[in-house]
Each structure stands twice: as C-alpha cells, then as structure tokens.
Amino acid sequence: MSTHTSRPSGTPDGDRETPEAHDLGLSHDLPTLLNRRHALGLLTAGGLAAALAACSGSGSSGTSAGPGGAPSGGPGGAPPEGGEGGPGGGAPGDVSQADVGEGEIPEETNGPYPADGTNGPNALTMTGVVRSDIRSSFGDSSGTADGVPLTFSLTVVDVSGEGDAGTPVAGAAVYAWHCDRDGKYSMYDIADQNYLRGVQEADADGKVTFTSIFPACYAGRWPHIHFEIYPSLDDATSATNRMRTSQLALPQDVCDTVYATTGYEQSVTNLAGVTLDSDNVFSDGYALQLAKVSGSVAKGYTATLRVPV
C-alpha cells in the first residue's frame, strides 16, 4: 500500500482507571459509512472487475492469502467517565448507514478499539499494516502475541445481483483485528503494540487469509473477530469508505478445547457466563457469522467464513 505513511499509533486521552464497555452494539458505535449499495452499484452489469481494478490503484498489497452482557472484568466493563464513546471518553462513534439486504452478513459495531481512526489511533495509515501474518507488531512496534495458532479466511461475495452463489469481490480490502490471549486489544489496552491487526487484498475468488492466534473470551462477549470490508486497498485508509463492518463468531466446541490450554484460563470462566444467544452482537442471529473451524491445539486451527455483501 504505497500511499500509506508511518504515524505514531497514539493512545486515547486519559488513563484507563475505569474499565470500558466492550462492543456494546450499534448504539455505542455510530460510524458514517459509504453506502454499500452505492459502492456495489458500481460493480454491476459487467463492471465488477473493472471498477475494483480502477479503485485499487497501484498500491502494493503485500502477501495475499479482526459485552453483550456483564460490564465487568477484562477489557470489558463500565463505560468510561467521559461517556459512552470508548477509551478516555472519546468520540461517541457513528451509526451505520450500510444498506444490508436479505442474505447479507449483518452490519455490526466496530467496538471501542478499532484503530481505524473512528476512535483514536488509525492503524490503516501505517506502513506495514498490509500483511497476512498479524501475530507480530509492525512498524516502530515490536512484540508477538502468544496463543494457539489460528489461520482464518474470509471470502467476500456480492449477492446483490441474481443467483445464490454471488460474485467474488476481487480486489476488495479486508481489515481484520481481534483481542489477544488475555482479552486485550493492541493500540488501546496495550498501547505500545499493534499486533493482531492487518489488511489484505482479496484475490480473484474474493478471499483473504490471515495467520493469527485464537482470541480470548473476555467478560460479557462471545469469542469473535472484527472485520471491515473496503472497495479497494486505496480506500482502506479511511473508515468512511467502509462497505460493511461485521464480526466472525467462533464455535463453542473449539473454544472449549482451546481455553483448556495454558494461558487461556480466564477465558474458561468468561465463556461460562455468555452464550451466542445472549451475546448482544450475535443474539439477533449468527447463522451468517459462525465460522467453520477445523484443526487441533497441536497443529493449529483453520477458520473459514463466507462474507456475503
């Protein structure tokens, strides 16, 4: 992504003496998005490949391949003193204007720790964010997140036209991020790290793949991965260009197995206090967000999710 320039990651104003509410739904996260139908309207009637190619520019893509409930414990918790907006009482976010059609993946909150410029730091403008392996920090940061290996792939398809299969959105960009093994988010909970965040450009099949670690379950939220879909890499520097923001849910049987390993002990307790049906992001339906996962603790896991937009 040749248009990116290095910037300090930054931290939200104020020390986090009071834990913040994690991912409290769209009422807590109100981003103004590029209208999805306006963006994908450019991709209809034979214009799909041409439009995306035009948007993507010449930037390098790197290697192709992200409470409800109890406000306590872990990074989740009571809202900050400055209001509902996130760390340090930052800006209260924006409401999604994405046009979600039938059969499309739901629009969800990007949470208080997106590092997409909507609440404090912006990882999207940092050199090195376009990468497939997100386990380590990049740029001026160093450090690697520990945990059970997880490779996850998202396949973006446009289902606004005729047919059930949809059309692969080749050239789209996906920004993904999630918490670490302790339930903490880089650039916020861990201000001097930016790991477990990255951007990939979709291949001809609309697919992106990230190498990461299995995220924790923190208090009040089901284990999940955040992601944002952009028309192109060039668009993936400003959150106002997002076509869709959503979350991937991880299946319970795999979570139970992973959380029985060393380092995930707190996740066992946290997972016992939430279900997919009680989680305030997934409780309204998660059929299109529940990933298919295979593998083992010893060899690592692979998660896949089709992302219809």
Query: What pLDDT sits at residue 99?
Result: 79
User: How far is residue 257's CA from residue 223's CA, in Å, rounded to a whole number?
Assistant: 13
Nearest to 33 by CA among 129, 152, 118: 118
Bridge partners of 306, per DSSP, are 155
Residue 19 C-alpha from the chain's centroid: 21
Say how far apart CA 284 and CA 191 lie, in whole Å: 33
Report whether pLDDT(85) > 80: no
The DSSP bridge partners found for residue 308 are: 157
- Over the stretch 12-71, which tens digit does the pLDDT of each residue have? 333 333 333 444 433 333 333 334 433 444 333 333 333 333 333 333 333 333 322 223
Task: Give me the mean pLDDT over the 297-302 stretch.
Answer: 98
Strand pairing category for 173-177 and 197-201: antiparallel
Please tell me the distance from the alpha carbon of residue 136 to that of residue 200, in angstroms, as a whole number: 15
The whole-number pLDDT of residue 249 equals 98
Asked if 126 and 276 count as a contact pair (C-beta separation under 8 A), the reply is no
DSSP-derived pairing of the beta strands 149-158 and 300-308: parallel
Of 303, 224, 222, 214, the closest CA to residue 259 belongs to 214
Give the C-alpha separation, 210 to 266, whole Å: 25
| Residue 108 token pair | 């969800």
Confidence of residue 269 (pLDDT cuts 50, 70, 90): very high
Residue 153's pLDDT is 98
CA distance 191 to 182: 15
To the nearest 10°, report the CA torsion of 77, 82, 84, 87: -60
| DSSP string covering 22-85 | P---GGG----PPPHHHHHHTTTTTTHHHHHHHHHTT----S-----S---SSS--SPPTT-SS
Q: Tens of pLDDT along 157-207?
A: 999 876 678 899 999 999 999 999 999 999 999 999 999 999 999 999 999
pLDDT tens figures, 96-147 = 557 787 889 999 999 999 999 999 999 999 999 999 999 999 999 999 999 9
pLDDT score of 12 = 33
Q: Mean pLDDT throughout 7-15?
A: 33
**Least confident piece of the model among 74-83, 159-168, 224-233:** 74-83
Phi and psi, residue 138, nearest 5°: -135, 175
Q: Please say whether the beta carbons of 113 and 188 come within 8 A.
A: yes
Backbone angles phi, psi at 97, to 5 degrees: -110, 15
Residue type, 184: K
Rounded to two decimals, the pTM is: 0.73
**Tokens representing residue 244 in the block:** 């869709």
The whole-angstrom separation of Cα 64 and Cα 56 is 14
